[in-house]
Structure 1
């Protein structure tokens, strides 16, 4: 017969856990492993953790990026939304972030490293298969909505977004 002895939960009043994770599920799994009732601070990468630990706050007057446009597709990064001909698209936050990152390159190539950093919020650890899976889902959604914008792969480098049918890409 095996007996599992559980350590008592940590209860120091000033203690908290800083967790670098991509999803809430990851945090919950870690919390279960730690057997802890500590408050958890979720960060997307170590740089963000350092900034928070140092007490840095985003500048109040920092410019907020306006809408980005590719043909008739409008991407609103601050709202995590995209509109096609004025109608909202049903996209996840990740898909909206992916569109924003690609559109922010104004028709140029967004490298895989930039995509991982800007969309997944990590400096590494996201395999290109994860990126390609996300792009495949996004392409399907755009196609179903009749969006006339393509996401092109640039072999070994990254991705780019472009309006089809001769529409001009504008930012």
Structure 2
């Protein structure tokens, strides 16, 4: 195969922002590189394993939150279109950012289930939850506004000190 140029991709795994910056400096001369927070995130990117449709189990040192609204199901007509990254309510649509899309995909995929801050941070941001969670609250606030703009029959309820869940209005 002479004359055919093959592109290479370097994948780096670093759990902390400082390690990711250092890794980016080391890989800066590479033609293409990807830095992820975990092996699972790298596998999802490479499509080696199917991303979980249900939230992953909590680590042994974290309590499992099982609070679920009885008979919970997403309101009929509420869907997240991942191909186009839009939220659809009946015949109306609204565009979503990547974070809004990933958050809604979690919540709509398990309606009524309480998603802990830690689980959401891992699934949406791809890293461990640190600090006060203002990043997550900002995304939730934007998604609530978009649900309201569509007049959707669902909203995101906060479970104080635990996390969030999708609930009917």
Smaller-chain TM-score range? 0.5 to 0.7
Q: Which residue of 2 aligns with 1:119?
A: 124
Per the normalisation by structure 2, the TM-score is 0.62
Q: Structure 1: which 5+ runs fail to align?
A: 1-12, 22-26, 165-171
Q: Give the C-alpha shift of residue 40 in structure 1.
A: 3.7
Could you tell me how far 1:95 is from its partner in structure 2? Answer: 0.7
Post-superposition CA distance 1:114-149 (Å, at most 9, x none): 101111122344751111011111112222222231
Q: Output the CA distance in 1 between the equivalents of 2:42 and 2:101.
A: 26
Distance in 1 separating the partners of 2:42 and 2:90: 41
Structure showing greater radius of gyration is: 1
State the partner residue of 2:64. none
In the other structure, the counterpart of 1:44 is 36
Show the 5 A alignment for 1:87-98. 87-98=92-103
**How well do the aligned residues superpose, as a CA RMSD in angstroms?**
3.9
Which of 23, 48, 52 is residue 57 of structure 1 equivalent to?
Answer: 48
State the aligned residue count.
140
- 2:156 corresponds in structure 1 to 151
CA contact (8 A) 1:18 1:43 kept: yes
CA 70–120 in structure 1, closer or farther in 2 if over 3 Å, else same: farther
Show the counterpart of 2:67.
Answer: none
**Does the 8 A contact of 1:64 with 1:78 survive in 2?**
no
Q: TM-score, normalised on structure 1? A: 0.62
